[in-house]
Amino acid sequence: MLIWGTTWFVVKIGVEAYPPFFSITARFLLAGGLFLILLRVRRIPIPRDPELHVLFLVVGILSYTMSYGVVYWGEQYVSSGLAAVVFSLFPIFTGILAHRFLDHEKIGPLRLAGLLVSLAGIVVINLSDLSQFHPRAPLAALLMVISPAASAVAAIMSKRRVQEIHPFVFSAVPMIYAGLINLVIYLLFERHIRIEWSTTGTLTIVYLATFGTMVTFGFYFWLLRHMEVGKIALIAYLTPIVALAVGTYLGGETVTPAILGGTALVLAGVGVTSRAK
> What is the DSSP code string of 100-164?
HH-TT----HHHHHHHHHHHHHHHHHHHS-GGGT-TTHHHHHHHTTHHHHHHHHHHHHHHTTGGG
DSSP state of 193: S
Q: What pLDDT is recorded for position 172?
A: 92
Range of lowest pLDDT (32-36, 68-72, 84-88, 242-246): 242-246
If one counts the domains in the chain, the total is 1
Report which secondary-structure segment, H or E, holds 249. helix 235-251
CB 67 within 8 A of CB 147: yes
Residue 187: predicted pLDDT? 96
274: helix, strand or coil? helix
Of 29-43, 119-133, 174-188, where does mean pLDDT reach its minimum? 119-133
In this prediction, residues 259-273 reach a mean pLDDT of 77
Domain range for 122 is 2-275
Alpha-carbon distance 233 to 230, whole Å?
A: 5
C-alpha count within 13 angstroms, C-beta hemisphere, residue 196: 2
Q: Which range is most confident: 20-24, 134-138, 167-171, 220-224?
A: 20-24
Q: Does residue 277 carry a pLDDT above 60?
A: no
Confidence bin at 59 (pLDDT 50/70/90) = very high
Lowest mean pLDDT among 101-105, 135-139, 209-213, 260-264: 101-105
Q: Per mean pLDDT, which range of 72-81, 188-197, 204-213, 247-256 is the poorest? A: 247-256
Tell me the pTM. Answer: 0.83
Confidence class for position 125, pLDDT limits 50, 70, 90: low
